[in-house]
Structure 1
Amino acid sequence: MPQPVWQKSSFSSGGEGNCIELAAATPPRIHLRESDRPDEIATASPRALALLLHTVKGNSLSH
């Protein structure tokens, strides 16, 4: 199985190790991890990730 290609969030706080990284997984899934804990990986669907981001940003979940 190929290794995921990780991309840091554009909102990450520089080189302090406080970075959220995403990688594409077997469709339709997305891997998430914190850069200072690279072995702890969560996997979500694109919709679940979108709902999480809307919640974190304080937006309504109703569409």
Structure 2
Amino acid sequence: MKIRFREDGPLVIDLPAGSRFVLDGREYVLDRPKLALCRCGRSQNKPFCDGSHKNCGFKAPAGVLELED
């Protein structure tokens, strides 16, 4: 699995659509092949990104974290 840190934006995880995952004790079913998680803390849809980073001046470097199975 690969986690991408978008420059000045969210964490993006590529998962197959329909994947089930648990985050903060809640179970979710992914309806698309990417999961974007908020890094700026301003999203109104936490823990998911809603694009708020674009208007709040959030700055963070890009990067990639690759996890082995």
Q: Higher relative contact order at CA 8 Å, sep ≥6: structure 1 or structure 2?
A: 2
* Bigger helix fraction: 1
TM over 0.5: no
Higher relative strand content: 2
